[in-house]
Amino acid sequence: MASTDESDPSAPPLAPNLTREISRMERTVVARGGYSIVYRAEWRPPSGPSQPVVVKVLIVSTTANDNTKVLKRLKREIRVWTRLSHPNIVPLLGFIDEPHGPGMVSPFFAEGTALQFLKKYPDANREVLCLDVARGLQYLHSQKPPIIHGDIKGINVLISPMAMPVCVTSDYL
Q: Which of 8, 66, 97, 151 is catalytic?
A: 151
Q: Which helix (H) or strand (E) holds 32?
A: strand 29-32
Let me know if 66 is a catalytic residue: no
Residue 170 CB: number of other CB atoms within 10 A? Answer: 22
Percentage of the chain beyond pLDDT 70 is: 81
What's residue 5's pLDDT? 44
Residue 7 is assigned to a structural domain of this protein: no
Position 138 pLDDT exceeds 90 = yes
Residue 30 is assigned to a structural domain of this protein: yes
Query: 94: domain CATH number?
Result: 3.30.200.20
Domains identified in the chain, total number: 2
Position 4 pLDDT exceeds 50 = no
Domain identity same for 51 and 89: yes
Distances (CA, A) of 157 to 36, 47, 109, 144: 17, 30, 10, 23
Domain identity same for 27 and 96: yes
Average pLDDT over residues 60-65: 64
> What are the φ/ψ torsions at residue 119 (nearest 5 degrees)?
-70, -40
Domain identity same for 72 and 39: yes
pLDDT in tens, 24-42: 888 778 888 777 889 999 9
